[in-house]
């Protein structure tokens, strides 16, 4: 549920063609154990059903999930903790991804006597 709320807070839909939000939500809700959920996520990514993961944020997300899996194996994290940390990481990565998108720029030009002044936002 935490992942769903985080995705909705970011304005990311959970429907449509594959995205990491969809994949992670689906896998973590179907598998109570983090290691099984992570194996499911990895399989979906390998099958190219998790959206654009071939960038630094995708690589970072996968490495983070692997590190969490190792901590679960060693008994350093519970399944619930690992799932919560992975959901938080997805929110951070989605925020970073959204921040990289080009923003539209709007400019206005005003005449002041013989000068033209342009402001762009």
Give the chain's end-to-end CA distance (angstroms, integer). 37
Tell me if 34 sits within 8 A of 48, measured CB to CB. Answer: no
Tell me the pTM: 0.69
pLDDT tens-digit map of 43-54: 999 998 888 777
Q: Which residue has the tokens 């654009």?
A: 52
- The pLDDT, as a whole number, for residue 105 is 78
Radius of gyration of the chain (CA): 20
Q: Is the pLDDT of residue 14 over 70?
A: no
- The pLDDT, as a whole number, for residue 22 is 93
37 vs 102, more confident: 37
pLDDT tens-digit map of 80-116: 999 999 999 999 988 887 888 777 778 888 888 888 8
- The pLDDT, as a whole number, for residue 13 is 34
Report the distance separating Cα 14 and Cα 26, nearest Å.
10
- Average pLDDT for 6-32: 68
- Average pLDDT for 30-52: 93
Residue 88 CA neighbour count, 13 Å, CB half: 8
Report the distance separating Cα 50 and Cα 88, nearest Å.
17
């Amino acid at each position: 549920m935490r992942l769903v709320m985080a995705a909705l807070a970011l304005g990311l839909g959970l429907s449509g063609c594959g995205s990491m939000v969809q994949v992670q939500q689906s896998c973590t809700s179907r598998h109570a154990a983090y290691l099984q959920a992570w194996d499911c996520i990895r399989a979906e990514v390998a099958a190219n059903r998790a959206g654009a993961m071939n960038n630094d944020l995708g690589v970072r997300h996968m490495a983070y999930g692997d590190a969490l899996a190792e901590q679960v194996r060693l008994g350093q994290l519970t399944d619930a903790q690992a799932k919560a940390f992975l959901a938080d990481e997805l929110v951070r990565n989605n925020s970073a991804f959204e921040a990289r998108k080009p923003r539209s720029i709007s400019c206005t030009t005003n005449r002041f006597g013989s000068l033209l002044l342009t402001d762009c936002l």
